Structure 1
Amino acid sequence: MSEPSVLELGPRDLLVVAGLPGAGKTTMLRHAAAGLSVLDSDQVRERLGAVVPAAVPYRWYRPLVHAWHRLRIVGRALGEDGPIVVHEPSTRASTRALLALVGVVSGRSVRLLFLDVPAEIALAGQRSRGRVVRARSFARHVRRVGKWREELLAGEVPVGWRSVRVVDRVGAGRMRLVAKVSRWESVP
C-alpha cells in the first residue's frame, strides 16, 4: 500500500469534504479525520430519527435535517477553536456561497476537498451503504456538479475559498487529515 496523503489543517480552517452522494465522503472521514471535529448531516438525521415516529418518512423531515446541519456549521465555526471538517455534497452554488460567507464571518479559511467520483460509482456507493438518494435528486446533484467539477479540475478556486484539492476514490482512501501543531504547542 502506498503512503498516506496528508492534508494539514490550520487552527482556523474550515475544510469542506464535498462530492456526489455515495462518492465515499463518510468512509474517507471515518478513517482520515481521527480526532478532528467533523460535522455530518447524518449525525442530525440519526438524532432526529431517534425521536421522529417510524411512520414518518425521512423526506418529510429532510429539510429540518439540512437546516439543523447548516446551523451547526455556523455555530461551530463561530464558537469553537481548532479546525472544523464539514461533510457536505456542496453541489449547489448557494451552499458553496453560504460556506464561503461562514468563513468570512467566522474568520476561518474555507478549504475544499472534492471527491471526484463518476456518477455510476457514486450510485454503487449508495447501494452498498443501503441508502439510495431518490433518482431525481441524484440527477440534480450530478447536473449541478458538472460545470463546477470542470472548474475544479482546471485548478480554479471558488470565490471566498482558500484552496481546493481534488482526489479520486483511491486518493480518498489514502487521505489523512491532521491538525497542524505549532511549535509553541508542542511539548519538549
Structure 2
Amino acid sequence: MSYPAGAVVVVSGLPGSGKSTLLRRWSCVAPVVDPRASHVACEAVMPAWLPYAVYRPWARLRHFWWLRTEVLSGGPLLAHDCGSRTWMRRWLSWTARRRGGELHVVLLDVGAAEALAGQEARARRAPRRVFARHRQGLDRLLEALRLHGSPAVPEAVSVVLLDRVSRERMAAVQFSAPDAPRAPRHRRATRPDRNP
C-alpha cells in the first residue's frame, strides 16, 4: 500500500489481532508508536509488586505524549490503536492536518476467536472486560463501514479492511518522497545607470 509523504497510518483491531506483528513488518519505512512500548518502559522502573492498574495513567500519558511528538514531527508515522476510540482518530486527524498531513486507517477484522488465539500465542491476555469493550467499539465501527463505507470514518482519508489472509499478504507499505523545497527565486540584479 502506498501513502502520501507525512501520512499518519493507524493500524487498529482487537487485542491479539496482529497489529504489533504487522507494524514490526512495516517499521523499516516509518517510526512506529505502540502503547506496549510505553507500558514496558513504565514497568521497567516500577517495583515488581506494583500492579499495572496503579501506574496505567502514567503509561497512557507517556504514550499520548510520544504519539503527539511523532505526529508533530511531520514525517510519516505508523501508529498502533485499538480503533474503538473515535476521539483518538479525530485528534490524530486534526493534529496531522495542522502540519499538512493526512490520517489513514488500516483495520484488522480477524474475528474474536482469532484475536483470543493471538493473545494465547503471545502469552499476554487482555482482561475480559477490556477485550469486551474493545470488541463492542470495533463491532460498531465495522457495522458502520459495512453500511456506509469509508464515510463512516470521516476523520480518515482512507480505510483499508484486512482479514486474516490479507493481513499475512500485506508485506509492506511505502510513503511518497516529500516534495523538494523550492529554491527561493532571486530577482536579477540590475546595474545602476552610470553617470557620463
Same-fold call, TM cutoff 0.5: yes
Matched, 1:30 2:24: yes
* Distance of 1:170 and 1:127 partners within structure 2: 19
* Distance of 2:110 and 2:140 partners within structure 1: 14
Deviations 1:52-109 (A, max 9, x none): 111111122222222221221111111x242101011121222222222222333320
Matched, 1:177 2:173: yes
Conservation of the 8 A alpha-carbon contact between 2:74 and 2:101: no
**Structure-2 residue corresponding to 1:48:** 42
Q: 3-state SS of the aligned residue for 2:156? A: coil
Report deviation, 1:110.
0.3
* Distance of 1:87 and 1:183 partners within structure 2: 27
Describe how 1:124-143 pairs up with structure 2 within 5 A: 124-143=117-136
* Distance of 2:179 and 2:46 partners within structure 1: 48
Conservation of the 8 A alpha-carbon contact between 2:29 and 2:173: no
Ranges in structure 2 where 5+ consecutive residues have no aligned partner? 181-196
Describe how 1:83-98 pairs up with structure 2 within 5 A: 83-98=76-91
From the CA coordinates, give the structure whose radius of gyration is larger: 2
Matched AA of 1:125: G
Identity, % of aligned pairs? 32
Matched AA of 2:44: A
* Distance of 1:100 and 1:179 partners within structure 2: 17
Matched AA of 2:177: V
Identify which of 92, 97, 101 aligns with 2:94.
101
Conservation of the 8 A alpha-carbon contact between 2:2 and 2:175: yes
Identify which of 106, 112, 118 aligns with 1:119.
112
Ranges in structure 1 where 5+ consecutive residues have no aligned partner? 1-6
Conservation of the 8 A alpha-carbon contact between 1:110 and 1:162: yes
Conservation of the 8 A alpha-carbon contact between 2:6 and 2:102: yes
Matched, 1:60 2:54: yes
Moved more, 137-146 or 27-36: 27-36
Q: 3-state SS of the aligned residue for 1:166? A: strand
Deviations 1:19-62 (A, max 9, x none): 11111001111123323111101111121111111111112222
Structure showing the higher strand proportion among its residues: 1
The CA RMSD over aligned residues, in Å, is 1.9
